[in-house]
Homo-oligomer: A and B are copies of this chain.
């Protein structure tokens, strides 16, 4: 991408009402545009980050045998009324609207009800199970406050996976596979070391659910962890009873602030029972389907990564999610000529070909936070080389021109 051809510009100031660091940085660096609190547009660089995160998640979902679908945002109240969740006293973040032809509609804040309801058309026997179905879908949640940038959106992108089983054992086995897939995803996104599977409150059918919490000073959650971080609890279940239940009494727990980037939940019959999703087993007995659900906040992950990997100069994207690998600057006639040649051969380069002074390009390179900055100038050409600087640690090296293809 040529910076001279794109409409995005880095901005000196973030919107006044953008108090979250991730939101301010991403707006200033030209990744997102703020429409309203909790409602953002994704600009070309931002959309590339989102797509990179999606690709990593999709690969790990497909690896464990999941199938991708895309369910509607507009929701028929009917299945939600069967579980009691269309009522605002049960779910207080609905956006609701009305059909011109009459009747209420909701905007999906999540999709347990429609997917359970839909599967009644496809599941009848134990032979039809297990099933693992996921989507990347825009969710709508009518949050009273939305002040955390893209960490908490009123409209946001989520990966939601639902699994369907004939037995609790089968659900348990798949739940373990998702735990492993999630760890791989967070590792690949560069936040694995700071992301912990955390005990959180369960529901009617499960004692606990699990969250994946990433250490983040501005996160909205509070977690407690033991010395080696092998046991981590959400504040909501940090009490003597739960600690005893987990067999850890006396050990000292540290408190930390974090962002919930994923959660997994054994739903069992919570939705299949009221919605009537049943199967006939090998003995011809009809039973409700066991279910699990597994979410990852895609846009929230982008905000978390932006917030975690940044310094006073700007963003520092991990290579796996960066919109481009190289930020290319040519200085002077010969430098610009070689830069053009390199750009023409590659598609992982953001080429700063704007007619502005080098200082501005260096500043924007730091703000936009592409992993490697390439500078070609008379000075580097004297050494028959180009200069590559690592955005994360500032290390610079010269690469000889004849070694460019091998080294980039």
Contacts and interface: CB of A to CB of B under 8 A. Distances in A.
A11 B120 CA distance: 13
Given A5-B65, A35-B114, A95 B105 contact: yes
A69 to B, nearest CB: 5
A144 B128 CA distance: 38
Q: What band does the interface of chain A fall in when counting residues whose beta carbon is under 8 Å from B?
A: 35 or more
B69 A41 contact: yes
B142 A100 contact: yes
Contacts of A118: 33, 35, 41
A42 B69 CA distance: 6
Given A40-B72, A43-B69, A138-B73, A143 B35 contact: no
Contact of A155 (B8, B73, B101, B140): B73
A145 B101 contact: yes
Residue among A7, A42, A99 facing the most chain B CB atoms (10 A cut-off): A7
A121 interface: yes
A61 B402 CA distance: 35
Contacts of A39: 72, 74, 76
Nearest to A111: B41
A226 interface: no
A71 interface: yes
Interface in A87-141: 92-93, 95-101, 105, 107, 114, 118-119, 121-123, 128, 131, 133, 138, 140
Nearest to A95: B97
Nearest to A92: B100
Nearest to A96: B97
A9 interface: yes
Contact of A100 (B41, B68, B93): B93
Contact of A8 (B72, B98, B122): B122
A47 interface: yes
A155 B122 contact: no
Given A70-B47, A100-B93, A105-B95, A114 B11 contact: no
A280 to B, nearest CB: 15
Interface of A: 5-9, 11, 33, 35-36, 39-44, 47, 50, 65, 67-76, 92-93, 95-101, 105, 107, 114, 118-119, 121-123, 128, 131, 133, 138, 140, 142-145, 154-155
